[in-house]
Chains A and B, each alone.
Chain A
Amino acid sequence: MTSSTTKPASSNSALFDRRPLHFDSKLPRNRLNGLFTFISGLFATLAVLPLVLVLVYVLVQGARLISLRLFTELPPAPGLEGGGIGNAMLGTVVVTLIASLIAIPVGVAGGIYLSEYAGKSWFGQVVSFGNDVLAGVPSIISGVFVYGLIVASRIFFGQSYSAMAGGIALSLLMLPTIIKTTNEGLKLVPNDLRLGAYGVGASRFVTISQVVLPAALTPISTGAVLAIARAAGETAPLIFTALFSAFWPEGIFNPIATMSVLIFNFAIMPYQAQNELAWAASFVLVMMILAANLLARWLSRLSKA
């Protein structure tokens, strides 16, 4: 190669600073570049750190308390040792189940309406906007609402605090997520599939229920799993709807213990036994929620493959 001396492309190139091609780590721009990379790496480390620390503490504090007794016994009276969180585990399952039984059918139907029927109609936009607003309503407000509507008015057989009221409060939080994921999941179903079904003379109902819905099953179930996981850990809507109970559940129209409310109540008690049960409940809750999240990720990966 004839090493051509760089001739100026135009008379103006004197106005640009030209340097040799070699990398010069002392250049301000390269120093800045390194500095920013370092800072962003530091920030990422700081962002990940809380998860690691929370997990480590929950594992260390919670796992050593895991025993059969934890699952089968009631919490001890204040000042006493031992006991378990059996009633709270059962209660979390009951309340979350009630919430799911309300929110999943309503949410999936709402999502179907938005995706398959609403089109760009004003009502569809109202529902869609309302759904976004509902998603942004603080969870404590949902508790206040259910308190005013159900607990204070005692509409369930004269009962005030109840598992039912707690479940309804949780379902309000699950609803927007399920509507949104259903709507988005259905919109991903190619239109050709719908046309194909109409083409053989299928009715709208048959098309939706037997062709479109099954095609979107994975994203919908992913959304449902995530919503259930989130609801299981919610506390704010439950503290004055489901309240708490030191006993085993006595039906869905009575107050019920849940793990999340147990953690809240026991964390601020000045007794070691209660504090330890709060850690144990956290361990169980976090494991359940992480498992649900990993399940959801696995589900969504399944649909991509």
Chain B
Amino acid sequence: MTSDHGLRADALYTLRVRPRSEKLLDIGFRQLTLALASLVAIVLLAILVTVFQGSREAMASFGLSFLTTSAWDPVNEQYGAFVAIYGTLVTSILSLVIAVPLGVGTAIFITEDLIPSGLRELIGLMVELLAAIPSVVLGLWAIFVMEPAIRPALELLHTLLGWTPFFDTTPQGPGMAPAILILVVMVLPIITAISRDALNQVPIELRQGAYGVGTTRWGAIFAVILPAAISSIIGGVMLALGRAMGETMAVTMIIGNSLNFNLSLLAPGNTIASMLANQFGEADGIQVSALMYAALILMLLTFIVNVLAQWVVRRLSLKY
């Protein structure tokens, strides 16, 4: 433009040409966010390297038999993590066996129009708040309230099923069974929240289709709505499994931290996380390395479960 209107505008707007400083700021900001975002990858690698380096001594000494032996003997420096690995798997899997029906059932109850919407939201809110209660507070509650309250029930289990190796010890306070129950309390909100989201995403058209051919409400839920939501629910269950495996405080406080192997669920046990919490602060020498080795195993277990969870959600998800 050559009119004098254009000339005047050029005089008034002094930043028609971007100054260098603005371009530098633009680039600098981008690089800054990039650098800080990379921190995630760096931290993750650093965790892996630190734990791996720390566990090399124990790996060299015990090799893979670390996974299958149950000696934990600081005097003779013999370490095997079988009790802790077994405890981690048993407590987390059994807690899910209980929590999945409870969580999915609750999610159905608060999404499928069975009760007034006010009540639905209240239950949803309460389950969400349950997730916010710190693990250590649940542990305190488990020690002083839950465990004494359920002990008669556990004693009954012992009386009835004491002939099986899984219940052949008398319940005496801390043990695997109360640890499993407190894990149920901790993973329930995750399963409920994810199942609830999954059910809410099932389109109304699909529900109408099911009711339209004359199903009952539960007929529609079992035959159409749950199958449509199943991949997200399974993903949520896997995430909960990862959480249960790594859960530390409440379990440490109620599982009894026994280093001896016992099949009985009523006996004290141990998990990798609770072993770390109990011993890491006071350990030295090769015991630190053995604990790092156990930590590495825990990391790998949770990593596999979490990646599988994401894979399930992506691969199995339906077009709905």
Contacts and interface: CB of A to CB of B under 8 A. Distances in A.
A203 B26 contact: yes
Main SS of chain B's interface residues?
Answer: helix
Interface stretch (A26-34, A82-90, A216-224): A26-34
B137 A58 contact: yes
Given A44-B106, A205-B25, A138 B40 contact: no
A205 B28 CA distance: 9
Interface of A: 29-30, 32-33, 36-37, 39-44, 46-48, 50-54, 57-58, 105-106, 109-110, 112-114, 116-118, 126-127, 130-134, 136-145, 147-149, 172, 175-176, 179, 203-205, 208-209, 229-230, 232-236, 239-240, 243, 260, 263-264, 267-268, 275, 278-279, 282, 285-286, 289-290, 292-293, 297
A292 to B, nearest CB: 8
Given A47-B188, A134-B40, A136-B303, A203 B106 contact: no
A57 B29 CA distance: 50
Given A33-B216, A44-B110, A113 B299 contact: no
A51 B126 contact: yes
A138 B298 contact: yes
B194 interface: no
Given A118-B37, A130-B40, 5 more contacts: A42-B105, A54-B130, A142-B47, A236-B273, A264-B139
Contacts of B128: 293
Interface in B11-48: 18, 22-23, 25-26, 29-30, 32-34, 36-41, 43-44, 46-47
A135 to B, nearest CB: 8
Contacts of B320: none
Nearest to A30: B216
Contacts of A140: 246, 248, 273, 276-277, 295, 298
A285 B243 CA distance: 22
Contacts of B302: 136-138
Contacts of A114: 37
Q: Which of B32, B127, B249 has the most CB of A within 10 A?
A: B249
Interface string B101-140: 1110110111000110000000101111110111111111
A41 B252 CA distance: 32
Nearest to B305: A136
